[in-house]
Amino acid sequence: MNTVTTATFGSLLQQFFLERLIQQRHLSARTIEAYRDSFRQLLGFAEQRLHKRPATLALEDLSAPFVLQFLDHLEKDRHNCIRSRNARFAAIRSFMQYVSVKEPAALALARSVLGIPMKRFERPLVGFISREHMQAILEAPSPTTWSGQRDRVMLATLYNSGARVSELIALRIADLSFQIGPALHIHGKGRKERQVPLWPATAKQLQRWLQRYPREPHEPLFINRRGGSLTRIGITERLQLAADHATQQYPLLAKQRIAPHLVRHSLAMHLLQSGVDITVIALWLGHESPTTTHMYLEADLQMKQRALKTLRPPTNAAVRYRPPDRLLQFLQGL
């Protein structure tokens, strides 16, 4: 079997990012960053285990057993969930697919890594905040302070739009439109853009916010005290602070892990409960396919209970099957 030189790995990795991901696939900056972070962790792990600097690694070092060790390291040492583990592995798989085309001598190596399956995991039910609790959170920030006024309008916009936290951070004043019908232009995941309508109450809050603190169209819609963009951690902390305050009125909120994505889920559930078609919700949230939105149908127990009431329960008792053979009884009991 032909071997691949040490220099080939470095050049292949650079070509993979510059040619494959950026030029050919034209992936978004966020996706490039995710791939970059995956390889940073992989190269750091290789330096610890193989005692080789990244520049001296050979392609043969990234064997299937080594990749499996790295994936175990992510779960056991870094305490990554299976979903995160699979995301890191997806970047490696994409690279190995590129290698299999660009470097025929490494085809066997690439196939052995590509033969590693993605790890299956249980998908938890989608959590959401009730409308009553959501209203308490939105009203929790103080209207008498600058940060409280910002948090009120920011959380109202987060809930109204169902935006991802990264999308909320990326919003600029120019993305607001009050002509014809108030709407928000969201720069979504994977360069997908969408228009989201604003409720009159949210539009009024945003107009008052901009009148009190006017800024240039290119500046962030929501800023910190220094005038810069808020961070993911900063938004999460402000949301948690509002939730903690609302817990005084609704103690059950303390049992929920409040995060910006939970607000997104809550909007979807509230739209669904109000009778909005699931395809419209998919467009609202920026889902690439309505099948992604079907998880909300699975989560709404109240809708299932209403559906159950429309059916009559069966009157005949079910007959339980009893295997006649011991071996069949063993299999039946598994």
- Out of 52, 189, 204, 245, the active site residue is 189
Tell me the backbone φ, ψ of residue 176, rounded to 5 degrees: -90, 140
Own/partner pairs, 303-312, CB within 8 angstroms, 24+ separation: 303/272, 303/273
β-strand partners of 223: 229
List beta partners, residue 196.
184
The pair phi, psi for residue 116, each rounded to 5°, is -70, 125
The conformation of residue 126, written as its DSSP 8-state character, comes to: P
- 284 near 259, Cβ under 8 Å? no
> Could you confirm whether 312 is annotated as catalytic?
no
Angle at 60 between CA 55 and CA 64, to 5 degrees: 120
Which of 20, 88, 150, 164 is flagged as catalytic?
164
d(CA 218, CA 92): 37
- CA proximity to 136, closest of 247, 238, 263, 239: 247
Residue 238 annotated as catalytic: no
Cα–Cα distances (Å) from 239 to 10, 25, 161, 202, 242, in that order, read 43, 36, 15, 17, 5
Residue 52 bears catalytic tag: no
Give the Å distances, CA to CA, from 9 to 60, 99, 102, 238. 9, 9, 11, 44
296 noted as active-site residue = yes
Torsion angle defined by CA atoms of residues 135, 137, 143 and 147, in that order, rounded to the nearest 10 degrees: -140
Residue 51's SS3 state is coil
Q: Per the residue annotation, which of 49, 83, 192, 261 is the catalytic one?
A: 261
Residue type, 254: A
3-class secondary-structure state, position 197: strand
> What is the distance, to the nearest Å, from the Cα of residue 57 to the centroid of all Cα atoms in its chain?
32
Active site residues: 164, 189, 261, 264, 287, 296
